[in-house]
Chains A and B, each alone.
Chain A
Amino acid sequence: MKQEEVNFGKSDQFNLTMIPGSFARRMRTCLIWQFFRFTVINIKMLIVVSKSH
């Protein structure tokens, strides 16, 4: 059984939601991708901060 499928069987609450697969999980800690996301998130946050002052 794939890791993301294990928890679906643990409760009805878990069964009715979405659980990330191995690719999505790997990307969360992939340094290259996360450096890119770090830049994007910071830009988005700076826009929100500038709109709020």
Chain B
Amino acid sequence: MARLIIMGGGVSGHTTATFAKKWLGEEHEVVVVTPNSQWNWIPSNIWVGVGQMSKKDVVFPLAPVYAKAGIDYRQAKAVSIHPNGKEGSDESYIIIESTKEGTQGQTEELTYDYLVNATGPKLNFDATEGLGNGKGELGNNTVSVCTADHAVHANIELKQLFEKARKAKQDGTGERQKILVGTGHGMCTCQGAAFEYIFNIEHEAKKAGVRDMIDIKWISNEAFLGDFGMGGLHMKVGGYAVSSKLFAESLYAERNVDWIIGAHTSKVEAGKIEYELLDGTMHEETFDFAMLIPPFAGVGLKGYDKDGSDISDTLFAPNGFMKVDAKYDAGAYENWKASDWPETYQNPTFDNIFAAGIAFAPPHLISKPMSSPNGTPINPTPPRTGMPAGIIGKAVAHSVCDMIKKGKENAHLHKASMADMGAACVASAGKGIFDGTAAAMTVYPVVPDFEKYPGTGRDTDYTFGEIGLAGHWIKHILHHMFIYKAKLKPGWTLIPE
């Protein structure tokens, strides 16, 4: 019997664990180590953040699902990896620390034959002064929609702001409210979530009858609107092949949402941020309500050799994400190629360790690297969430199952390069069965391949985007479909990642 441990139970880890258990059956053991007791469909957090959904609509308890699937579930966080075992034992193991009420803080050693790191990101709020509370958590100056609890809190604050705007309108004081949404650091990713949140706020403000009392502004580390961490994309609209820059700017102008781009938020205070632009100038912006996405980092896992020496550098890149089969020495932007991106997600040193989803270290950015004259890097980091995370998780599960069943020598490693993979993205711009809208986009491939597709780097037959009610319906259906799939209800394997 082989034991596969998956660290992390998000989109990627959950996909890896559930497919691995289905393919391995009772003969082998699948263990999931995740600090969370609930699974969260994160894309719908933005609707919690505007009060259109409750927390219970976007989460469900993991324990019964894993019990049904026959997966050994440990509510704990992984602390360290010991791939060569320890004194007196060659068995690879990890150390986990319980986050479960009653046993919190207790540590345990878990041996493994195969290990998948799908720990996702650490929300690195403290990377920006005042964005975090100094203990690695969200501070008091801004709100977040990164977790369901954050989103619940964001909605409470938002409704208070709407109430102030309504009162000012009734009293005729003319006092306006100012909302700021975007990225809280020059190296953030996940602009899509902030994009969705700002337009959902705008939509809700209109519905509440207070839009005319609120100024809404976007701030982002993108060099241009519509970069989305992918260097933007070109799509066919109305017979033209156009840049996502025009597509995004059009939406912002239509909705009267002003924007600041190429910005590194350097400091956050109550009601005020300081930021540096790509031209090196420093500025301030005030706000009454702000939602700023934090940068991501690895979760802080350590690696140790048999003799106790620290081998974290062997396992992880400096940003804390796990090294896989990517080309990390590609050099300058001009030398970047689609083939730099990993295919199998296998660690180059330990062939029984893989990383999936956000946890793998990308070889470099996708967007063109930028920095200010002061040397501050201001560019979005590559997105690895959603559909790519699920597809990578499934490919890794396939590879590990083959290795277990056929042996390492005969196993076929499955490939899921982001340079050979598309992504469907539906960004909500307001919820409502008859008056909602969303930007429905597909991009193929996620990482542009200028050798295969000279010009835009992507196949414009499969890269498109449009805004409308249909997109909202799709987003709503996806919400129910993916929660259904994650609960492993009948036919779950038929729903694609």
Beyond A37-B468, A41-B474, is A48–B256 a contact (Cβ under 8 Å)?
Answer: no
Q: How long is the Cα–Cα vector from A6 to B491 in the complex, in angstroms?
A: 50
* Contact yes or no, A18 B462, CB < 8 A: no
Question: Contacts of B464 on A, CB cut-off 8 Å?
Answer: 44
B448 within 8 A of partner (CB): no
Chain B residue at smallest Cβ distance from A6: B256
* Contact yes or no, B256 A51, CB < 8 A: no
Q: How long is the Cα–Cα vector from A34 to B434 in the complex, in angstroms?
A: 10
Beyond A48-B444, A49-B422, is A7–B256 a contact (Cβ under 8 Å)?
Answer: yes
Residue of A7, A19, A28, A31 with most chain B CB atoms under a 10 A cut-off: A28
A7-40 interface mask toward B, CB cutoff 8 Å, 1 = contact, 0 = none? 1101101101111100000011111001101100
* Contact yes or no, B444 A38, CB < 8 A: no
Question: Contacts of B421 on A, CB cut-off 8 Å?
Answer: 52
Question: Contacts of B256 on A, CB cut-off 8 Å?
Answer: 7, 10, 14
* Contact yes or no, B462 A31, CB < 8 A: no
* Contact yes or no, A28 B469, CB < 8 A: yes
Question: Contacts of B258 on A, CB cut-off 8 Å?
Answer: 11, 13
A53 within 8 A of partner (CB): yes
* Contact yes or no, B250 A28, CB < 8 A: no
Main secondary structure of the interface of A (DSSP, over half): helix
Size of interface on A: residues with Cβ below 8 Å to B? 31
- Out of A17, A29, A49, A51, which one reaches B469, CB within 8 Å? A29
- Out of A13, A28, A51, which one reaches B253, CB within 8 Å? A13
Which residues, 337 to 351 on B, are CB-close (under 8 Å) to A? none
Stretch at the interface among B112-120, B315-323, B368-376, B435-443: B435-443
Question: Contacts of B442 on A, CB cut-off 8 Å?
Answer: 44-45, 48
- Out of A13, A16, A28, A47, which one reaches B462, CB within 8 Å? A47
Question: Contacts of A51 on B, CB cut-off 8 Å?
Answer: 422, 444, 462
B471 within 8 A of partner (CB): yes
- Out of B250, B387, B424, B434, which one reaches A29, CB within 8 Å? B434
Q: Least Cβ distance of A15 to chain B in Å?
A: 8
Which residues, 171 to 224 on B, are CB-close (under 8 Å) to A? none
Chain B residue at smallest Cβ distance from A42: B474
* Contact yes or no, A38 B473, CB < 8 A: yes
* Contact yes or no, A53 B391, CB < 8 A: yes
Question: Contacts of A52 on B, CB cut-off 8 Å?
Answer: 387, 391, 416, 420-423, 444
Residue of B252, B254, B387 with most chain A CB atoms under a 10 A cut-off: B254
Q: Least Cβ distance of A14 to chain B in Å?
A: 4
Question: Contacts of A47 on B, CB cut-off 8 Å?
Answer: 462
* Contact yes or no, B468 A27, CB < 8 A: yes
B259 within 8 A of partner (CB): yes
- Out of A17, A20, A34, which one reaches B249, CB within 8 Å? A17
Q: How long is the Cα–Cα vector from A11 to B421 in the complex, in angstroms?
A: 39
Q: How long is the Cα–Cα vector from A16 to B256 in the complex, in angstroms?
A: 14
* Contact yes or no, A34 B253, CB < 8 A: no
* Contact yes or no, A44 B474, CB < 8 A: no
Q: How long is the Cα–Cα vector from A48 to B3 in the complex, in angstroms?
A: 34
* Contact yes or no, B249 A41, CB < 8 A: no
Q: Least Cβ distance of A46 to chain B in Å?
A: 8
Q: How long is the Cα–Cα vector from A4 to B250 in the complex, in angstroms?
A: 11
Beyond A7-B256, A52-B422, is A28–B387 a contact (Cβ under 8 Å)?
Answer: no
Chain A residue at smallest Cβ distance from B248: A17
B388-431 interface mask toward A, CB cutoff 8 Å, 1 = contact, 0 = none? 00010010000000000000000000001000111110000000
Q: List 23 A-B contacts (CB under 8 A).
A: A4-B254, A11-B258, A13-B253, A14-B253, A17-B249, A17-B252, A18-B246, A28-B468, A34-B468, A34-B469, A35-B470, A41-B466, A41-B474, A42-B474, A44-B464, A45-B440, A45-B474, A48-B424, A48-B442, A48-B444, A49-B424, A52-B420, A52-B423
